[in-house]
Each structure stands twice: as structure tokens, then as C-alpha cells.
Amino acid sequence: MDFSYSEEQQLLQNSVSKFIQQDYDFDRRCKIVNSDIGFSQENWQLFAELGWLMVPFKVEDGGLGGFAVDLMVVMEEFGRGLVVEPFLACAVLSGGLIADGASEAQKRELLGLLIEGQLQLAFAFAEPQSRYNLADITTTAVLDGDSYILNGHKAVVLNGGAADKLLVSVRTSGAQQDCDGITLLLVDTNTAGLHRHEYATVDGHRAAEIKFNNVKVPIANRVGGEGTALPVIGKAIDRATLALCAEAVGAMEKIYKKTVEYTKTREQFGVAIGKFQALQHRMVDMFTEYEQARSVLLMAALKMDANKGVAPKAVSAAKSRIGKAARLIGQEAIQLHGGIGVTEELDVGHFFKRLTTVQYIFGSTDFHTLRFAGH
Amino acid sequence: MDFSYSEEQQLLQNSVSKFIQQDYDFDRRCKIVNSDIGFSQENWQLFAELGWLMVPFKVEDGGLGGFAVDLMVVMEEFGRGLVVEPFLACAVLSGGLIADGASEAQKRELLGLLIEGQLQLAFAFAEPQSRYNLADITTTAVLDGDSYILNGHKAVVLNGGAADKLLVSVRTSGAQQDCDGITLLLVDTNTAGLHRHEYATVDGHRAAEIKFNNVKVPIANRVGGEGTALPVIGKAIDRATLALCAEAVGAMEKIYKKTVEYTKTREQFGVAIGKFQALQHRMVDMFTEYEQARSVLLMAALKMDANKGVAPKAVSAAKSRIGKAARLIGQEAIQLHGGIGVTEELDVGHFFKRLTTVQYIFGSTDFHTLRFAGH
Amino acid sequence: MNIDFSSEELAFQQEVQQFLQEKLPADIRERTLKEIPLDKESFVRWQKILYEQGWAATNWPMEYGGTGWTPTQKYIWANECANFGAPDVIPFGLKMVAPVIFTYGSEEQKQRFLPDILASNVWWCQGYSEPNAGSDLASLKTTAVREGDEYVVNGSKTWTTLGQYADWIFCLVRTGGPEIKNQAAISFLLIEMNHPGITVSPIITLGGHHEVNEVHFDNVRVPVANRIGEEGQGWTYAKVLLTHERTGIARVATSKKRLQTLKTLASETCDGGASLLENPAFAQRLAEVEIDLLGLEFTELRTLAAVSTGKAPGPESSILKIKGTEIAQFIDELYMETAGYYGMPFVREQFKSGFDGEWVGPGVISSSVPRYLNNRKSSIYGGSNEIQKNIISKWVLGL
Amino acid sequence: MNIDFSSEELAFQQEVQQFLQEKLPADIRERTLKEIPLDKESFVRWQKILYEQGWAATNWPMEYGGTGWTPTQKYIWANECANFGAPDVIPFGLKMVAPVIFTYGSEEQKQRFLPDILASNVWWCQGYSEPNAGSDLASLKTTAVREGDEYVVNGSKTWTTLGQYADWIFCLVRTGGPEIKNQAAISFLLIEMNHPGITVSPIITLGGHHEVNEVHFDNVRVPVANRIGEEGQGWTYAKVLLTHERTGIARVATSKKRLQTLKTLASETCDGGASLLENPAFAQRLAEVEIDLLGLEFTELRTLAAVSTGKAPGPESSILKIKGTEIAQFIDELYMETAGYYGMPFVREQFKSGFDGEWVGPGVISSSVPRYLNNRKSSIYGGSNEIQKNIISKWVLGL
């Protein structure tokens, strides 16, 4: 057993950490969030240059190794900085699908561009009625000659507005919630009949509603076999879930420490409020939640690496525990900051927003608790 | 809407309260608990003389009116005193079954004696495998001429050791968990083939395992029709559950107040621990839980009276909420008392014991929460 | 002891239902049920309808035009309003400044201010909190220095809810110098907002709402006649008011209605093979909060009953604030759970009146995260829940 | 970073399994798995078996007869012991006084005391807490007044676990007068229990157990040679020990085994139409505590890893005490939930060894309420969880 970072991991962490501290302060982030596309192309290029976009991928795919622990290192730092560049949606989630499910030719075509920062991808899986059931798919693709014809509505597609290409989970056979009959298609976002409605999400990211009205997709754009995409999708979502957990752990470390520091300076009734024992014990609870959350994250990352990328139960444990911690730490940070905590002005509120949405992305805390329990 | 006690209720409360304060201090209770039969015959006679055993019954059955609010008045006081006399098991639960389910002749025979304090009853409903499912019954009664022949095992029968007669829920037809086919029989405890193993329960009460080995019960001892007893049983258990809730509310009032007083005198690090804000806020939570518990109790009692004794959803709401409050208040009382709280020597620990068992008698907190939700 | 309505009360309930059925404007009803913030015009329109009915001031004595309702009537009113989707009245005039005026104001002040409040002709806002003061109200720094018949007011107030619409503000100001003991230096002033020395700057809260503001006073001259009661007694008046206000704050009727809506939504939400309402984990949480709300409803009724027998609501009524906000915030979380991904979209346009674009997400659900974020303030404002716990600890438990 | 065992570690694991398989007495195993308290004879018997194997002292340096195990080996050992139903060793000699003796004791003291501790020839108990002192250890009142080569000890100690069996007690006593600053007046003494001035009186805890005692000292004469280290340094020695002790206190392996047992029990418990394990409310609670325990396991491993790189376990290891007791107590509650009515019977006879009557209730379940009651002490003893929070607040968060 060994809990120390390798030299490479240490270098990676230092590199991302330096970027967050020097180039990603709260003001800059606000400007980026409020910009037209909602993230910085310049930063994205920097991520590519510094090799961070290689992190999710195996060496043979042009990546750094694709270890979950490496991914955790990057995402924890991104969490500390509340990074909005679409690393999770594009590189981890969509990239993961391609790395895992695509043919060698497709990989060659797409992964190189992605790793160079030249290709934005998004994965359109959720639908208005599907909630967290990845198999609940009503978007249909019917084979017509050497093309599929797509019809349907994909909901809250993360990075869906900026994406050059979409990976779309479609139903090619079976009933609405069947596990079989799900296929993955790669769709150019400028294809006729594809409509996007992009909007901001409450945490400063971007998403889109995407509707397909007889959209024609060449059969060559199918990723993997017909009707057998669900396991690949599940694995990619699990991996992205782990990455999201790491981001949350980074964010909650930041926010609990900020809260502790704030209470040392903020005075009420003539005393720093950090001297009030009731608040002290609550901050100890925040600290404890953070430590437990980080432990479960480590556990899941190590299990995933030990099990060649498949560790659904460990991922659900992490998502459940981290969701619980994110809730408590977020709510307490706001409550202990008082009025200033609920304003847009202070960074703490923005950490709170992200710590709220991470509780619901890729399955809520309850969902993952019951999934862990085997229900 | 009116939340004040009637003059009669006020008198009843004063009478029980005076008894608890003057004749039921902690030392006396300990002696009673450790006595051979585990309660005081003398007190039981006093309950009869003061008319308290009339409280659960309607005027036409020789009672005071049988209102849930009256019952609540008595049980809250009993909770404050941790009374171990079998008012709940004998008068409320078993008496309730007879009042509701028995023929006029049976009522005449039994209720008079009960109200005079001359008859101890117990209701044997649970079985080793049944948990909280009142319909899960494997004890069988087979008609043989003009008698039933009983075989089976009833578990943790409250007041089962002292009872002169038992009410037993038996299966006369149907499968193990069927709602139909359940019959109620009145069995003399000195009948041949009936074996009792009495023991103390952890809260200072008594219970017994009761085994039936070809026990012969005259058909005249059937209470109500054959196979149709479940609704009557359900109603009696609900009513007893409400009474138990009232007892718990009385006990939790006592214990939270004792805790507050204790922290005013107990010093650590040179200060009364009641001055530590972290503990203050926790005691405020205890107070809040108590007030909320008492409110739900009132709600359920009033609903039961308004609905002629049938209010399963309100009872489950009360049991669920009061179970939650009993847990928090009990645990916090012990924790705030520190070491002395976990000793047999101090009364607080005994309140804690009872507040623990009430969480599980007649259905656990979870059970009633899901029952309230309709699951 | 009983919980039945009398026949008079049942008749009153019918009258209320009929009134709401007939007079509540459909657009206001829809926005309220969808939990979309109303604009000023809607609030004023609805309050004028109430005024015409004679039901604007449910907490005023009849002599000033109040309804003189019993606690049970108020309970019925609150429940029916929540059920029909009638919005709460803006409390600053009717519920906050008016009681101070009719209790401590001069005859002239009563005649001058109360009718316009009743008729919703004037929009009031509250100037208690100050930047950096938090829940420590008594430490306020806004000064009012007397010059002849006027006070010259300087300083800042904050968390001024809907102050952007206000015609008048009621303020706690410091009229005494540092030699006077803190609370005895505080007076209660009414100030017109159109004064050039007043600027209002918005504070945007996490949910993206512009509800609260900072109000700055730069040499604002206020006639001494606008002071309520005696100089140095402002803190006393405000405190009485604060206790008075604690009951409405439980918002039981609103939470009941929201739970009911939530159940419908959850029953329409697919979760695996069944509806979310049938998911036992969800059902259990829902049941727990529903039961807790039942308890709170009866805790409030017990408090009201005590008040109606002449007792002032005691410090134990602080639990109404604590539990009321906790329950409301927990309901927010159940909305988010129900919304899933659709809690996240933050599409400001679709909350503007007259929006006719394509709505993202299904109705009330689609703003559940912003609403959750915005509602975190409820356990902070109005005396934070921590302050409420200190009050109970000191005044109820004697610690 | 990895969590794989090396091949040496895997071999060690097998060795441990084989040892436990062969050497753990069946009666001790059964009582441990049923969570019935062991008697003295059983503890001593098992410890002597460990001694013969050379595995009695897992936390001692090899030079004194310790195992010299790595953190991973200790982790394997703890897990396998819990799995097989091997009881924890009584810590007072091996884990509490021995480290003080081998760290701060004289050569003569080491040779006199350590071998008997290692061989389980002598039963030790702890004399830190005093009546009314609670978690405020430094306020102790037991005095040791020097007369020639002896100290004369007077006072009382309390919560002395299993003191009824003890041959020796290690005590913190006050050797300085009131002129000396509190903690500098405290010394560390070893006292033989067979002295006529010592009386042990039992304290019965809520679960009906006699586990703890009060120990009274009436003019007990103790040779100065029995003092560890210097006079007035006892507090320093004890504090080092307290931090040292904090890791074992998480009891992760035991809680893991108990959860596993609980799952089996719940799967055999009928709940409506299915098993209790299939009841989603129960399954959710179970999953939550199982996940929290996974977290605690890794929190402990992280702490151990830090220690093995030479760092002392810091104050942040207080969370091991807090979470460890919280989780264990929560598991107690799940046992009660599973037991239903059968948690309540309180039949002392059936826990005595040699009981051959009819057992009430199904095995381990039937004492779940008494066990829950008794285990409430774990968040109070050993520095209450409130004290642990104060420690984290001050030394980790800097508040």
C-alpha cells in the first residue's frame, strides 16, 4: 500500500496548481464565465500545450497513461479553481467514450485533434424523461441505406453548445428502457435538422438542449457495434463521475478552508465568530466530511486503476459520500459566511453552486447510495 | 380549534402528576423494578381506585369516555415517572381489544374486573419471525369439537408473565402472512400445554416467551368472529402506539430538562458546561425536537378522537416523529451527562433505556415512516 | 381540546375560497404556483384587490382598518391563499412598519401613513441591517444628527429587500453619541426614498435574483416629525416588532402547498421502472419532511392559541423560524432531486413576464437549483438561525 | 499510489489466517462473534497463545519483543482477527502502559515490567479519570506525598475498565502542591493492586455490564522506584500516549466484520414480503454507514502511511476517534432495527459461560439493545468526542 504521488503525478499537480493560482483567480474566472462561449479558448490551448488533455488517455492512444489517480490529481486542482473549461465533458467523458468504444481509425481521426485542443466534443445522453437511467432512450436512429436517420430530444448536454461533434446515444432497437438496442453515433453539429439551444447552467458552465429532426448520420459515424453501446457508456460515465468527485473534493477543500479563515476575521458582538464554540464544532464537522470524502475518492481511484477502469460500486460509494459531504460543506460555508455568502460578489457562493450541481450530475446522492446497495 | 384541557382532563392530570411526584420517585421505582413480579400490586390497586384504569374505555363499557386526549394526559405523566405498572399492555392494549372486539357478555365478564384492578391481561401477537407484521402468524388454532387446539410460539409478550389471561392472535386459515384467517382467542394462562418464560426487558418492564403445545381453548373464548380479527388488532395496536408515544413525550420532556439543569451545575475546565455554546445549541435542538414531538402527538390524538378511534396515518406520523425525537434527545442527554450518564446509578440512563425501546415497540421509526408514506 | 372548525369558521372558509376563485388574477396565480418572483405591478395589483375586499391587513386592529380575524381565521386564510396560489403580501408596510406606527406613533403619524399602507399606495422597505453588522443589529453605525427640526442621516443599510421599488424606508439610526449605552442611542425614523442623498445599489444573490439592495444615505435631511416615539427608544420598538413577526415566518401553508406540488411532480417523474414518488428512499425523505411540517403546523397553532388567550408569543416561538426555514430549505432539495439535470439550467429570460420563447425544462422544476440557492438566505436573514438558538438557549432554557 | 498487497504481504496474510485457523479457541471465537463479553480467563488464554507465537505486542519495537510489523501488516492482522472472531487484546498493559515504560522508564523498570506484560502474566488497568473530573484530565486530585523512599497516595480513580481483575494500575497523581502549575504537578506512578489501602468498587453501566470500576486509595504507600521518569512530567508522558492510542480507536476491522454479520442477519430477517436487507430504507442506511466506514478505513490508512514515513499522528487523527465511535454506534442501531422486539429482552444468565438454558431470541441479535446502551460510553470515554472536536478546532483549524 502506498499513498504517495509518483514523481510524475507530483509534477502534474504542481503544474495545474501553479496555473490555478497564477492564472485563474476569481475575477478572471468571472470574465470567462460571462464571455460569449463561456470558457477560454486560450486556456484550452494551454491545457493542450501542457499535456493535460493527454491525462485521460492511454499511452497507445497518445495519452499519458489514463490512470484514474492522474485524473484525480488534475480534477482536484480544477475544483480548487472552479475551472469551467470543458475538460470533464469534452476530454474525460466524450474522449473516454471514443478511447473505449471507437475503432482504431476513428481514434486516430479524433483523439489526436482532441488532445491538441482542436476538437470540442460533447456527449448527449440524457433526455427529458430519462433522469439518471442511461438506458432510458427515446431518441431513435433508423437505418436508411448507409445512413441513420435521427429523431429525438437530448437534454442538458454539457458542452453541447461549443461542441464541433456530438456523441449521441440513440435507440436502434428495443423498448424505451431496454439495455440492449442502444447505439452510439458521432454527429457533426452543423448537420441539417440538428437544433441547439445553448444556455448557462447555474454553476457557470454551459449546456444545451439538442433536438434532432430527421438528422442524417453516415453509418461510418457509428462508434462501436449496433445496439451494444450501453456497457461502454456506463464505463465512461463512471469514469467521468469519479473525475467529478475529484473536482468536488478540491472545491470543498477550498471552501471549508475559506470558511475557517473568514470566521477568524469576521467579528460579531465584538468577537471573531470563529471563537464561538458552536461554530467551531460545525467547522470540525466540515473538516471531517472533507477528509472522509477525500478518503473515499482515493479508494475509488485506486480501485478503478486496480480493476482496469471498471469499479462501479466504488464509484457509487464515492459519489454518494462526496455528495453528502458537498451538501454539508456547501451549506455550512454559506451559513457561516452569513449574508455575504449568498451574494454573487463573493467566490464562496460560486463554490457552493458547483458543490450543489455536482450532487445531481451523473446521478444524485440517493441514486448512487442505492446503486451501491445493489438496488 | 382549542388546545386547552377540559376541567376533567386538568383534574386527571393533576391526580396522576401528584402520584408521580409524591409516590413514584426514582428509588421507589428501582425497588419495584427489582421486585419479584416487576410492578407494584399496591400501585395497580391505587390506579383502579383513582379511576385511571377507566380512562381507556367508553362510558357504556364502564369507562371515562375512552378519548385519546385523556389517554395522552395519563401516559405523558406516566412517561415523566417511567411507570412500569402494565397500564399500556393490560388496560390500553388488551383492554382495547376486548372493548372493540368482544361480545357484550365477554365485556361484562372481563372489563369490570380489569377496571377494578382484579384482572391482568396481555396480548400475544408477535412471533419470532413476524417483526412488525401483525398478519405474519404461524401460531395455529384448529377447531376440534367445541375447542380450538393451539400450537405455536409468541415472542416478547409484554406483561405476559403476570397475565391471568392472554389474548392470542392465531391463524385459523390462510397462509403465513395473509390478512384473512386471523382469529383472536382468550386463553387462561394456567391451561395445560401453555409454557411461559418470563424475563426482564432492558427498560425495566417484563415480557415473556409463550409457547403453546396442543393448548385447548373453548370456542366460547373466541373474541370476535373467526378469521376476521386483523382490523380489530390493527386498531388496538394503533391506539396503544399513540399511548406509547405520549409516554415517550413525557419521558423526553423530563430528560431534556434534567440535562439542561445538569449542565448548569456540572463544571469542566472551571466553567459550568452549560456555558459552552456548542452544548447550548445542542440542547436547543433537544428542546425543538421535544416541542415538535409534542405537537405531532397532539395532532394524532386529536385526529383519533375526531375519527372515532381510527387514524393510522396520524399515528404513524406520531410514532415516526417521536421515535426520531426520542433517539436524538436520549442520545444527547447521555452524551451531555458524560460518564455518569451511562451508569445504572442515575435516573437519566433509565429514561434513555425507555426512550430507546419505545423506538422499536409496535413498529420502528423506519417502519412507521414508510407506513405513513403508504409503502 | 379539538381541531374542528366551527360552522362560522366553515362559512368563512367558503367565503375565502369564493373570493380567491373570483378575484385572484390568473397571471399572478400562475407565477406564484410556478414560484417565479413577481414584479412590483403584480404585487400592487393584488394588494389593491385585497384592500377593496377589506382583507389587506390581517394583523391590524379593526380600528385602523384591519380584519380583526381570530387565529383560526388567519390560519384558514393562509392555507387557502397557498392552495389557490395567492402571493404573500409584501410585509414591509403592512406587517412591519404599520404595527410600530399604530402602537408607538403619534395620532398625526397614524393618519398620515396608515391609510396609504392599507391601500397599497406606498411601497415600504426596511432599513435595519448594515454592511458588516450581520445579526448583531445593535451595533449599527448609521447616524442621525439633530439640526433644528431635522435629522441629518449618514450611513448605509443593507439586505434591503425590494428596496429598489420603495417610496419610503423605516430605519434604525444612531441618534446618541458614543457616551450613551449602545441600544439607548437608537431611534426609529421614517425616510422618504426620493431624497437626492439616497442611492440604492442592487445586490445580486446566488440564484441570480435582484431582491436585496444596499441603501446609502449621504446627508439626508429628515424632519424630526418622522421619528416614531421617543428618541433613543427605537431598539425597544424594533424588538417588540421582531417577536411579533416570528409567527408568520414559519410559512407552513406555503410549505404544505409546495409539498403537494412536489408529490404531483414526483409522481410524473420517471425513476427506473416506476415513478420517483414510488422510490422508497425518496418517499421516506418526503414523508419525514411532511411529518415534520405537520408538527410545525401544530407548534404554530399552539403558539397562536397561546397568543389568542392574551400571552405574547414567547422566545420559544424562535423555533418557528428555525424549523420553518429548515423545512422550506429541505423541500428545495427534494425539488432538486426531482428535477435531476433540469434543476441546473439558468435561463433568466424565461422568468421575465411576457417570455414566449421555448421553455427549458418542465415548469416549476426547471428553476429548482437557483431557488435552492436563493432560499439559503432564509436561515441567515431575520435573525440567523444561530441567533434564534442563542435566544432559546438564554431565554427559554436559562443557559 | 496503489492498494495492492506485495507478495510478502500476501504470504503474511496466509500465515495469519493459518495461525488463527489453528490456534484460536472455538469458545473464544464463538463468544467474540456473538459479541458477548469475555471473562478474564479467556483473555489471558488467548494472549498467552499470541505470546507463544511472538505476536502479542504488535505496537512494540522488536528489541522488547514486539513484532516490528509495518502498517500494512498491522492492517492485515486487524482485519483477519476481526474476520476470524479473535478478540482484541486488553490494551492497558500491552498498548497503554508498556509504551510509556519502554519510552520513558528506566532500564530496571523495563526489565521488571515488560516481560510480564508481554507474557500476559500481569493484568494492568488505567488510573487517569477521577470522579467529577470528566474529560478535564488535568484537574486531577489524587495526591502522592513523598515520605522518604515512598509516596503516600490518597484519592480516587474512576471508569477503570476491568480494574476488578487487575494486578497493577498505572496512575496519574499529583506530586506537587497548589503552588505548582497544574500540569507540572503531575507524575506517573505504577501501583500494585494487592495493597490493603486499595478498594475497587464496581460501576454497573446501562447495558447491565460490570466493566468499569472506581478505585480508591487510602494511604497507599508506593516505592519511589515505581515512578516513571521524572517527577512532574507525568502529564507529558500521558499526552504522548493519548495521541499514540488514537489510531486503534477507529476499530475499522471490527466494524467491517459487524456490518458483514449484520447483512447476513438482515437477509434472514423477514420484513413484510421480503427480507429486511431488501427493505430500501434499511438498505440505504446500511449502504451509508458501509460507505462511511470505507472512508474511515482509508482515512486510517492515510494516517498510518503518514506515520510510517516518520510523522507522528497529528491532531487530525482525532477524527478517527469521532468517526470510529459514530459508525460503531450507528451499527448498534442497525442491529436494533434488525432485532425488532428481540432487542429488548435482558436475560443476564444467558451471557454467562456454561449457560445451557433456553436462549431468548436469535443469537447475537438478542442483546442488541443492551449492547447499544453500553456502547454509548465509547463517545464519552478516552477523551469525549466533544474534546476531540476542541482538539481539531484548536490544533488543526487554528480557531
CB atoms within 10 A of CB D171: 28
Nearest chain B Cα to D376, which residue? B342
Nearest C-alpha neighbor of A162 from the set A121, A124, A202, A201: A121
Contacting A residues, span 201-230, partner chain C, CB-CB under 8 Å = 201-203, 207, 209
Q: Is C335 on the interface with A (CB under 8 A)?
A: no
Least CB–CB distance from D292: residue in A2, A69, A292 = A292
Query: Are both B370 and B239 inside the same structural domain?
Result: yes
Contacting B residues, span 302-331, partner chain D, CB-CB under 8 Å = 331
Q: Best of A244, A350, A360, A369 to disrupt the C interface by mutation (most C CBs within 10 Å)? A: A360
Tell me the CATH number at B258.
1.20.140.10
Active-site residue, selected from the candidate residues C35, C211, C214, C245: C245
* Domain range enclosing A253: 231-374
**Position C180 pLDDT exceeds 60:** yes
Q: Please state, in angstroms and rounded to a whole number, the distance separating the CA atoms of residues B185 and B143.
A: 12
Q: Is D310 on the interface with A (CB under 8 A)?
A: no
Q: Is D1 on the interface with A (CB under 8 A)?
A: yes
Inter-helix orientation angle A347-357/A230-265, to 10°: 150
Q: Is C280 on the interface with D (CB under 8 A)?
A: yes
In angstroms and rounded to an integer, the radius of gyration of the C-alpha atoms of chain C is 22
Active-site residue, selected from the candidate residues D35, D80, D214, D245: D245
Least CB–CB distance from D345: residue in B156, B342, B352 = B156
**Domain end marker among B120, B145, B162:** B120
3-state secondary structure at position B368: helix
Q: Is C71 on the interface with B (CB under 8 A)?
A: yes
State the DSSP H helix or E strand holding residue C156, giving kind and residue range, or none if neither.
strand C150-157
Nearest chain B Cα to C279, which residue? B375
Contacts of A344 in chain C (CB under 8 A): 204-206, 208
pTM equals 0.95
Q: Best of D271, D276, D278, D284 to disrupt the C interface by mutation (most C CBs within 10 Å)? A: D284
Q: How far off is chain C from A212, nearest CA to CA, in Å?
A: 16
pLDDT at position A318 is 98
All partners of chain D with 3 or more CB pairs under 8 angstroms? A, B, C
Q: Do C360 and A343 touch (CB under 8 A)?
A: no
Q: pLDDT for D84-113, tens place per residue? A: 999 999 999 999 999 999 999 999 999 999
Q: Identify whether B1 is part of a domain.
A: no
Q: Do A281 and B278 touch (CB under 8 A)?
A: yes
**Domain end marker among A228, A262, A291:** A228
Residue B213 DSSP label: E
Q: Best of C1, C259, C388 to disrupt the B interface by mutation (most B CBs within 10 Å)? A: C1
Least CB–CB distance from C392: residue in B287, B317, B375 = B287
Between the CA of residue B54 and those of B57, B79, B301, C212, what are the distances in Å? 6, 19, 18, 60
If you count residue pairs, one on B and one on D, with CB atoms under 8 Å apart, how many are there? 136
Looking at residue D376, its amino acid is R
Helical ranges in chain A per DSSP H: 7-23, 26-34, 41-49, 68-81, 95-101, 104-115, 230-265, 277-306, 312-337, 347-357, 365-372
Tell me the CATH number at A213.
2.40.110.10
Contacts of A281 in chain B (CB under 8 A): 278
Least CB–CB distance from B298: residue in C288, C298, C398 = C298
With 0-12 / 13-18 / 19 or more C-beta atoms within 10 angstroms meaning exposed / middle / buried, residue D167 is middle
Q: Is C281 on the interface with D (CB under 8 A)?
A: yes
Looking at residue A4, its amino acid is S
Q: Do A207 and C345 touch (CB under 8 A)?
A: yes
Q: Identify whether A2 is part of a domain.
A: no
Query: Are both B223 and B240 inside the same structural domain?
Result: no
Contacts of D286 in chain A (CB under 8 A): 373
Q: Please state, in angstroms and rounded to a whole number, the distance separating the CA atoms of residues A39 and A91.
A: 14
Contacts of A315 in chain D (CB under 8 A): none
Contacts of C347 in chain A (CB under 8 A): 199-200
Q: For chain A, 375 residues long, give each residue's pLDDT as a single digit of tens.
A: 778 899 999 999 999 999 999 999 999 999 999 999 999 999 999 999 999 999 999 999 999 999 999 999 999 999 999 999 999 999 999 999 999 999 999 999 999 999 999 999 999 999 999 999 999 999 999 999 999 999 999 999 999 999 999 999 999 999 999 999 999 999 999 999 999 999 999 999 999 999 999 999 999 999 999 999 999 999 999 999 999 999 999 999 999 999 999 999 998 888 999 999 999 999 999 999 999 999 999 999 999 999 999 999 999 999 999 999 999 999 999 999 998 899 999 999 999 999 999 999 999 999 999 999 987
Q: Identify whether B66 is part of a domain.
A: yes
CB atoms within 10 A of CB D27: 12
Q: Please state, in angstroms and rounded to a whole number, the distance separating the CA atoms of residues A262 and A341.
A: 11
Q: Identify whether B339 is part of a domain.
A: yes
Query: Are both A305 and A324 inside the same structural domain?
Result: yes
Q: Identify whether B2 is part of a domain.
A: no
Q: Please state, in angstroms and rounded to a whole number, the distance separating the CA atoms of residues B364 and B26.
A: 28
Inter-helix orientation angle C318-339/C252-268, to 10°: 20
Q: Is B359 on the interface with C (CB under 8 A)?
A: no
Query: Are both A339 and A299 inside the same structural domain?
Result: yes
Q: Please state, in angstroms and rounded to a whole number, the distance separating the CA atoms of residues D11 and D17.
A: 10
* Sequence-ordered list of residues with C-beta below 8 angstroms from that of D381, at least 6 positions apart, any chain: B339, D159
Q: Best of A316, A342, A362 to disrupt the C interface by mutation (most C CBs within 10 Å)? A: A342
ipTM of the complex: 0.94
Query: Are both A212 and A253 inside the same structural domain?
Result: no
Query: Are both A291 and A330 inside the same structural domain?
Result: yes
Pairing of strands B121-124, B165-171: parallel
Q: Please state, in angstroms and rounded to a whole number, the distance separating the CA atoms of residues A212 and C390.
A: 58
Q: How far off is chain D from A283, nearest CA to CA, in Å?
A: 8
Q: Is D399 on the interface with B (CB under 8 A)?
A: no
Query: Are both B111 and B169 inside the same structural domain?
Result: no
Least CB–CB distance from B372: residue in C287, C305, C386 = C287
* Sequence-ordered list of residues with C-beta below 8 angstroms from that of C236, at least 6 positions apart, any chain: none
Q: Do B321 and C299 touch (CB under 8 A)?
A: no
Tell me the CATH number at B103.
1.10.540.10
Query: Are both B248 and B363 inside the same structural domain?
Result: yes
Q: Identify whether A1 is part of a domain.
A: no
The DSSP string of C238-306 is: HHHHHHHHTTGGG-HHHHHHHHHHHHHHHHHSEETTEEGGG-HHHHHHHHHHHHHHHHHHHHHHHHHHH
Q: Is C287 on the interface with D (CB under 8 A)?
A: no
Q: pLDDT for B95-153, tens place per residue? A: 999 999 999 999 999 999 999 999 999 999 999 999 999 999 999 999 999 999 999 99
Query: Are both A247 and A214 inside the same structural domain?
Result: no
B291: alpha, beta or left? (left if phi > 0; alpha if psi -120 to 50)? alpha
Contacts of B274 in chain C (CB under 8 A): 399
**Domain end marker among A101, A120, A139:** A120
Q: For chain B, 375 residues long, give each residue's pLDDT as a single digit of tens.
A: 778 899 999 999 999 999 999 999 999 999 999 999 999 999 999 999 999 999 999 999 999 999 999 999 999 999 999 999 999 999 999 999 999 999 999 999 999 999 999 999 999 999 999 999 999 999 999 999 999 999 999 999 999 999 999 999 999 999 999 999 999 999 999 999 999 999 999 999 999 999 999 999 999 999 999 999 999 999 999 999 999 999 999 999 999 999 999 999 998 888 999 999 999 999 999 999 999 999 999 999 999 999 999 999 999 999 999 999 999 999 999 999 998 899 999 999 999 999 999 999 999 999 999 999 987
Inter-helix orientation angle D71-84/D7-23, to 10°: 30
Between the CA of residue C193 and those of C89, C125, C167, D248, what are the distances in Å? 21, 9, 5, 66
Q: Do C362 and A364 touch (CB under 8 A)?
A: no
Q: Identify whether A348 is part of a domain.
A: yes
Q: Is B6 on the interface with C (CB under 8 A)?
A: yes
Chain A interface residues (partner B, CB cutoff 8 A): 276-278, 280-281
More confident residue, D356 or C197: C197
Q: Please state, in angstroms and rounded to a whole number, the distance separating the CA atoms of residues A231 and A183.
A: 11
Residue D245 annotated among the catalytic residues of the structure? yes
Q: Do B264 and C305 touch (CB under 8 A)?
A: no
Lowest mean pLDDT among C8-22, C69-83, D13-27: C69-83
Looking at residue C386, its amino acid is E
Query: Are both B29 and B129 inside the same structural domain?
Result: no
Domain count, chain B: 3
Nearest C-alpha neighbor of A359 from the set A257, A251, A211: A251
All partners of chain C with 3 or more CB pairs under 8 angstroms? A, B, D
If you count residue pairs, one on B and one on C, with CB atoms under 8 Å apart, how many are there? 126
Query: Are both A365 and A257 inside the same structural domain?
Result: yes
Sign of CA dihedral D163, D169, D171, D175: positive
Between the CA of residue A24 and those of A13, A31, A67, A201, what are the distances in Å? 15, 10, 25, 20
Q: Identify whether A26 is part of a domain.
A: yes
Query: Are both B205 and B263 inside the same structural domain?
Result: no
Contacting C residues, span 103-142, partner chain A, CB-CB under 8 Å = 129, 134-136, 139
With 0-12 / 13-18 / 19 or more C-beta atoms within 10 angstroms meaning exposed / middle / buried, residue B87 is buried
